[in-house]
Chains A and B, each alone.
Chain A
């Protein structure tokens, strides 16, 4: 039994205007991975390959120990997938959908489903076509969560939700993690959501993974230094520096491999350190994407 819930090796997919290139991804059982990318970066394509909805042109994909796309019918019993464009039947009610899913999946938990109806503030007798966008998103999540799948794959689960609903949804996701055999992969461009609940973070841009690490390491490695540098001094290149902005005496240096030794090195050169700031995941993401697009090695 492998302890990787998801394992991608050298996965690629070619479209006329988009290429997913040499994707390597591993997600240990019991963790939450946040998958962050700009619009059109390849998040959804990756997730569709993972689900067997799109077949990869190259590479191997294993999900819960099953080879995809060949074993997808077995694998899908244990995967819960929800995406933004998930279609529910407009003229049927939420209760009808709950019955329908229950008839397919033996793991359906009605008590849990009822509690989620309350928490998500939904009405089972309401027809889907009468629901707002946010209510539909919550309904789709409920249908997936109540099956208690071992792997949850959520494509933009919090998009279009109001703050209260987002809080409830993130809370429900965290409760899933009380069971350490269950794993979550979710994509988002809302870095705040990803930052709060993810253990591992993967950045994707233009069809390539540009960085992947555990969250605390990300937050540890990246720093932004503000320096006052005498005019005659040029700052030496150092490994890990992804950006250097200098206007007059002020310099702002962004690094993805911060070490305290850096500050003493700058001080030896005659620079004054004004601040060493930690960066939010959003700032890290933007700096990462910019460096990647400029063609520099991060």
Chain B
């Protein structure tokens, strides 16, 4: 759950909705709006602060950092996990490395076309 909050905040910063220095909602405000517990939002803000995306001053609330680091570091981990998964499922289905590679290339091709359609 807190990971979704982190992603949404990073996205807002990345697309420019929240420029550096913007005051962001307090933990409690955001919890009420999202209908999630205070502790979940607290956890998300804690991680965001650790990754230097936001800065928090006690009693003054939180702001977007001057140079927010919104590099999708976690996506990298996610990718590594998904690739592991592909390898495992391929082995379970008894696919040869060539077949598996072909399927992956086809998927990349499909995705590229989809994006081309959208833009």
Residues of chain A in range 1-55 having any CB-CB distance to chain B below 8 Å: 30-32
Is B28 on the interface with A (CB-CB < 8 A)?
yes
Q: Which residue of A lies closest to B2 (CB)?
A: A216
Across the interface, B38 reaches (CB within 8 A) one of A32, A170, A171, A274, namely A32
Is A215 on the interface with B (CB-CB < 8 A)?
yes
Given known A177-B28, A178-B28, A216-B2, contact A199–B35 (CB-CB < 8 A): no
Do the beta carbons of B35 and A177 come within 8 Å of each other? no
Do the beta carbons of B32 and A174 come within 8 Å of each other? yes
The interface size bin for chain B is 10 to 19
Is A197 on the interface with B (CB-CB < 8 A)?
yes
Do the beta carbons of A170 and B35 come within 8 Å of each other? yes
State the majority secondary structure of interface residues on A: mixed
State the majority secondary structure of interface residues on B: helix
Interface string of B74-115 (1 = CB under 8 A from A): 000000000000001000000000000000000000000000
Across the interface, A171 reaches (CB within 8 A) one of B2, B28, B35, B88, namely B35
Chain B contacts for A215, CB-based, 8 A: 37, 39-40
Chain A contacts for B37, CB-based, 8 A: 32, 196-199, 215
Is B71 on the interface with A (CB-CB < 8 A)?
no
Q: Which of A174, A177, A199 has the most CB of B within 10 A?
A: A174
Is B29 on the interface with A (CB-CB < 8 A)?
yes
Residues of chain A in range 178-223 having any CB-CB distance to chain B below 8 Å: 178, 180, 196-200, 214-216
Chain B contacts for A198, CB-based, 8 A: 37, 39
Chain A contacts for B40, CB-based, 8 A: 215-216
Do the beta carbons of B35 and A178 come within 8 Å of each other? no
Q: Which residue of A lies closest to B34 (CB)?
A: A174
Interface string of B33-68 (1 = CB under 8 A from A): 001111110010000000000000000000000000
Chain B contacts for A197, CB-based, 8 A: 35-37
Rounded to whole angstroms, the CA-CA distance of A196 and B32 in the bound complex is 11
List chain A positions with a Cβ less than 8 A from chain B: 30-32, 170-171, 174-175, 177-178, 180, 196-200, 214-216, 274
